[in-house]
Amino acid sequence: MNKEKYRILYVDDEVDNLIIFKAAFRRYYDVFTAASAKEGMEILKNNEIHILITDQRMPEMTGVEFLESIITDYPEIIRMILTGFSDVEAIIQAINKGRVYQYITKPWDVDELKITIDNAIESFRLKSENKQLIKDLKEANQRLEEYALDLEKKVEERTAEVVRQKEIIEKKNEDITASINYAKNIQDAILPEEKRIAEAFSQSFILFKPRDIVSGDFYWFQEKTTPKGEEKIIITAVDCTGHGVPGAFMSLIANEILNEIVNEKNITEAGKILNELHKGVRKALKQDLSDNRDGMDMSLCVIDKKSKTIGFAGAKNSLIYIQNNELVTLKGDKFPIGGLQHEKERIFTTKTISYAHSPMYCYIFSDGYQDQFGGENSQKFHRQNLKNLLFQNHTLAMSEQKIILEETLKKWRKIGTPDEEQQVDDILIIGFVLS
């Protein structure tokens, strides 16, 4: 970072939070604190602030309202908001109205928050440089116009330089856009740590390849002890409508609803979870009042560690498992989560199987791998080829299976050759062993 100390304003109605923040960051930045939006506004009037961080829940004015109110007068300030994952509406408002660079979950970690602030400062610095470059570009163009009649050759040379500068600026803008893409930050935050999943199973892998920066595919995981003392592991692979940013927002909504269903309502039966998720998605997207058809396909497994059973429910997607050297496809129900369907006919069911007497190799996935174009005839990989690949290698360690899946996909797409196929969809495959 530059040697210059950047100025940060932190707004929070809890004085203890202000004291903690200032103590943690004053050695790195010039820190200003305010206990209300009104006090924060006064600081903005009298100081050049580079980064503004505000709590969402404050008595006189919410963080979103405060950020929205300063956009016109202070458009260059990098804005962040503190909130919780459960406050989905506040997150959406912050993005749409407050134009936030990033939202930060509470309670925040000092090291993680410093990284976020440093990234924001770098973004601020690059924006300032670009603004100056654009100004220089305009001045250069003006000079070219003034000397056009007498210096045609010079104008041509300068024009070439201007074009080069324009390309540099456009590339920097693309890099900045990628670095501050809030959708990726949101999605990275909601995905469970692979370490947690690895610790829950004797062996497992996650093959996750978004087509774009962010993904319409996501996975959700929870270890849950029910009120009756039952120890359950819940894992799901979800394929939301679309990919990229729209799909990522759908994944955020689904993640929050799943947390509510399992952790607050204590629902741990696979079919019931999907039924509740369907209701929650339709309510969140107001699908009873609109023509919105967004939704998701998914496979969800609930493992009961004591009874050594796995309960499966699927919305269009299946569970593939291999037991006693036999591959079985356990199909999900034929309708998706969300969207406009015959609601009376839509009841997701649970299918239960045992792994008490022999190990079970389980795989849940989206359709991205099997729908990928490639090969000699530029055709889809297809479900049957994926089944064959899983069966042929199921006795290998899960880590080795992941490598084989990756290498097969790379070869199928002809990556690194003139005939390389572009990735057509998000790709997600989860494998785990039950024994």
Side chain identity, residue 274 = L
* Contact by Cβ (8 Å): 67, 52: yes
DSSP β-ladder status, 51-55 and 78-83: parallel
Q: What is the mean pLDDT of the chain?
A: 87
pLDDT digits (tens, 9 = 90+) for 207-244: 999 988 878 889 999 999 988 889 999 999 999 886 66
Would you list the domain boundaries of the chain? 7-108, 118-180, 184-434
pLDDT at 2: 46
Return the SS3 of 7: strand
10-29 pLDDT, tens digit per residue, is 999 999 999 999 999 999 99
Determine the topology of domain 7-108 in CATH: Rossmann fold (3.40.50)
**In this predicted structure, what is the pLDDT of residue 207?**
97
What's the confidence (pLDDT) of residue 292?
A: 76
Q: How far apart are CA 316 and CA 240, in angstroms?
A: 12
**Fold classification of 184-434 (topology level):** Phosphatase 2c; domain 1 (3.60.40)
Label residue 151 by pLDDT band (50, 70, 90). low
**pLDDT confidence bin for 170, thresholds 50/70/90:** confident
181-200: b (≥16 Cβ within 10 Å) or e: bbbbbbbeebbbeeeebbeb
Alpha-carbon distance of 77 to 73, in angstroms, equals 10
- pLDDT of 37-62, one tens digit each? 999 999 999 999 999 999 988 888 98
Closest CA to 232 of 326, 325, 304: 304
**What Cα–Cα distance (Å) separates residue 279 from each residue in 126, 180, 236, 288, 343?**
44, 33, 18, 10, 10
Element (H, E) at 78: strand 78-83
Residue 90: closest CA among 78, 106, 77, 76 = 106
378-390 average pLDDT score: 96
Quick one: pLDDT at residue 173? 72
- The answer to which of 78-82, 254-258, 263-267, 349-353 has the lowest mean pLDDT is 78-82
Residue 89 has pLDDT above 70, yes or no: no
- The most confident of 56-65, 116-125, 144-153, 373-382, by mean pLDDT: 373-382
405-428 per-position pLDDT tens digit: 999 999 999 999 999 999 999 999
C-alpha distance across the termini of the chain, in Å: 51
Higher-confidence position of 171 and 263: 263
d(Cα 382, Cα 276) in Å, to the nearest integer?
31
pLDDT in tens, 192-216: 999 999 999 999 999 999 988 878 8
